Amino acid sequence: MIESFFGVFALAIVELWAAIPLGIHLKLHPGLLIVAASTGACLGAVIAMFLGNGLRRLMFWRKSKSKEGGRLSQWLAAKGPWAIGLLGPLLIGPVLSAGLAGAIGLPRAFSLALLAAGIVFWTVSFSMLGTFGLAALR
């Protein structure tokens, strides 16, 4: 059982949507599955956020003379953390969402908090759907 927990945790660091079916297949308790997948995905997101921030510094090493951005940068500053944090784990995965947030320079703490909330919400949703869906088929 501990091997299953750490296997799901390790896989969730890289890919959350593969870790949930693995936990269901290994007959991990839904509570443990949610904890393992959520914490693994959050760890992967934190790592990706720091790598994305470093990537942004490498790509945009020159300082822009213009202090104002265009419409897209204003939209990203206002709505970017919410969109990437809550919808990113579902649409493009938590690791890529965190890397994107770090690369475009969104506020790190706020983006990670929203990303963690999105990861937990989608992990609970899909874990329960998978567990109870399989139970209903039997």
Distance from C-alpha of 94 to C-alpha of 52, rounded to nearest angstrom: 13
Most distant CA atoms of the chain, gap in Å: 64
Q: Where are the domains of the chain?
A: 2-137
Judge whether 85 and 97 are in contact, CB under 8 Å.
yes
Rama region for 106: left / alpha / beta (φ>0; ψ in -120 to 50; rest): beta
Judge whether 73 and 20 are in contact, CB under 8 Å.
no
Distance from C-alpha of 8 to C-alpha of 37, rounded to nearest angstrom: 6
Distance from C-alpha of 35 to C-alpha of 8, rounded to nearest angstrom: 10
Which pLDDT value is given to residue 9? 96
Q: Residue 77 pLDDT more than 90?
A: no
Which pLDDT value is given to residue 66? 53
Is pTM beyond 0.85? Reply is: no
Which pLDDT value is given to residue 49? 84
Residue 99 contacts by C-beta under 8 Å, 6 or more apart in sequence? Answer: 48, 49, 51, 52, 55
Give the mean pLDDT of 7-19: 94
The region of weakest confidence among 7-11, 57-61, 98-102 is 57-61
Binning pLDDT at 50, 70 and 90, where does residue 51 land? Answer: confident
Give the mean pLDDT of 12-30: 93
> Of 62-66, 100-104, 122-126, which one has max mean pLDDT?
122-126
Q: How many CB atoms lie within 10 A of CB 63?
A: 6
